[in-house]
């Protein structure tokens, strides 16, 4: 069973996405802010990270840069989740080290395709 680290500060968003992913057969770890995400990624070595970019304290952009700068976590595929479906955000996400990008509200079927592609 693949383990996914879901990083999302909004409780309802986190709960909805977690449940949907669990029902698809994934084991879900959660982090509520950037600092927790960095620490959980290092300790738990998930197979993939879903990172909301709007987080308190250390935001998703900075957390992604730190995860990708660390030898212990840089190989973990990371998909950015942002609320802005703008071309600039995609470029910014990739520049920060994200492997892929999905705009909110999330198209769940498309997100699953991206997850499966990264885990293959």
The residues that touch other proteins, with contacts defined as CB under 8 A, are 9-13, 15-16, 19-20, 23, 54, 56, 83, 104-106, 108
Nearer to other proteins, 85 or 119 (CB): 85
Cβ at position 8, least distance to other proteins in Å: 9
Cβ at position 83, least distance to other proteins in Å: 5
* Per-residue b or e along 10-43, where b marks 16 or more CB atoms closer than 10 Å to that residue's CB: eeebbeebbeebeeeebebbbbbbbbbbbebbee
Nearer to other proteins, 60 or 77 (CB): 60
Cβ at position 70, least distance to other proteins in Å: 26
């Amino acid at each position: 069973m693949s383990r996914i680290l879901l990083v999302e500060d909004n409780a309802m968003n986190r709960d909805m996405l977690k449940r949907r992913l669990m029902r698809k057969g994934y084991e879900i770890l959660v982090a509520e802010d950037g600092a927790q995400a960095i620490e959980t990624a290092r300790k738990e070595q998930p197979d993939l990270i879903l990172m909301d970019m709007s987080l308190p304290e250390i935001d998703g952009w900075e957390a992604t840069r730190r995860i990708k700068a660390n030898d212990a976590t840089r190989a973990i595929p990371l998909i950015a989740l942002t609320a802005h479906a703008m071309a600039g955000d995609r470029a910014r996400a990739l520049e920060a080290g994200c492997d892929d990008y999905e705009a909110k509200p999330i198209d769940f079927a498309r997100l699953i395709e991206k997850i499966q592609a990264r885990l293959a």
